[in-house]
Amino acid sequence: MTKEEYKNKRKEMINRAEQLMNENKCTEASSLINEIESLDAAYSEEQAQRERRLKNKYSGMTFKDKAEYEALKSQLVNEGRYDEIDLLDEAFHIYATNRTNEQALNGTFGKNTNLPIYGEGDRVNMNGSKPVNNRKEGGKMNIFLNKGEKLVNRINVTEESQVLNQDGALGEVVRGMVTGKWSSNEFKNAVTTTATGVLIPEVLSSKIIDKARELSLFTNAGVPIIPMESNNVHISRVKTDPTFKFKKEGEAATESSFELEDVNLQSKTAYGYAYVTLEAIKSSQNLDAILKTVFAEAMAQAIDDGMLYGQYNSSTTSYETFAPSGIMNDANINSIAATAGAGYDDIIKAIGKVRGGNGIPTVLGINSNTEEIFSLLKTLDGQYLAAPKAVSEMQTIVSNQLKHDDSAGDDALVFDPNAMIIGIQNNIQIKIIEDSECLKKGLVGFQIYAMLDCKAIQPKHICKITGIKEDSN
């Protein structure tokens, strides 16, 4: 018996029992209630047997590579077999963990395979190195979300939440929130109302996060993301690199230490504001696209603000502990004070600093004013100056979250994306607000809450540049 058949039969029997009670046919109603209980027991036993069969099916399953696992998972989704996805995930994680233990024994640990590499207990390795502690309920592991990967593809879409996976779902949910008119009860039942707003379902939250990743300086640069399952995730960063030397045969080798230190990602509440016209909410055919963009822009700004500078409290002359500490405030990263009118010189010096720490600088972050300064550089004969090879080979990302000051100059950042990590909890709260801006212009205001943190795990692979400006002479 399928779930749908069971639900329909049970509903039919309950309706009949209620009818009998209304007709004062208590004996017949009582007999029917006993039949309902027998139906429930039979269905529960049938489901328990099915669960045992499925567990036996997936127990000990092996995989050729990660692609095979992903193909099997896609097949389950396409066939609507959502209850098997968790079992497949668990089988894959167990197999990947066992593979890692084998690699550790035979000396191939950390070498390239098409499976995620797991270390002892709950340690996950990024790019085959740098163990990261990322414990998940039930012993499952999260894999780093790298550039090009979609968070939404990792969400298990249940039968009940399938409606949220269709095009336009975010627009339907928000339109219902604002107007109180829901296109279906499925959308209405999918959202959770809290004391501070409405919790957007995981399927929709992940799509907003994916869009924000395209807009943020750091996630666009390819800084790895950990989808956080709890408020605290511990990762490790290298404190002392090992050293290796040649030795004579038979002589004792020089002892070399490899020291790691703990870095704690603690999710902190970041919020931004977004405004949409009331007309768009009520009637726009592309409301879903509009909302994804404005919500993602607000979230991307929150990521960049926190990742770059944290939050300064002028009254206490210190940075707030409830906000990320900010990469630019990290005393361990490299730093260069720019020389006015130096052109690309300071960028090349920053590249040298990162390479000197054995980093691979692939990203240059600048604001629009610095972009203009560099774009206007000319040779003595008036020709526009091309960027040096070391600069042009990097990915340049323009973000106005990097500070501009007419007097002090601009900030810039040269870095290796793998030198940082971002943790994001996959739940977004949206609160409808009414302020003077809304009343004047006929807008609907939204406050978007997200939980995130960001840290440098290899600070010497990052270099900030401060005070970039044109020569005043």
For the segment 300-357, what is each residue's pLDDT rounded down to a tens digit? 887 788 788 887 677 777 767 777 788 899 899 999 999 988 999 999 999 999 999 8
Confidence of residue 38 (pLDDT cuts 50, 70, 90): confident
φ, ψ (nearest 5 deg) of residue 325: -75, -25
Instruction: State the DSSP code for 271.
Output: E
Q: Residue range 417-440: average pLDDT?
A: 77
Higher pLDDT: 401 or 351? It is 351
- What's the helix, strand, coil split of the chain in %, to 5? 45, 25, 35
Q: Helix, strand or coil for residue 382?
A: coil
Is the separation of the CB atoms in 468 and 346 below 8 Å? yes
Most confident of 121-130, 232-241, 384-393: 384-393
Average of per-residue pLDDT across 257-265: 62
Q: Is the pLDDT of residue 126 over 50?
A: no
Name the band, by pLDDT with cuts 50, 70 and 90, for residue 260.
low
Average pLDDT score over residue span 75-96: 73
- 412 close to 464: Cβ distance less than 8 angstroms: yes
What number is the average pLDDT over the span 375-404?
Answer: 91
- What global pTM score does this model have? 0.57
CA distances from 122 to 94, 107, 234 (A): 12, 20, 11
Residues in the chain: 473
pLDDT band, residue 234 (cuts 50/70/90): low
At 357, the amino acid letter reads G
Q: Are 411 and 402 in contact (CB under 8 A)?
A: yes
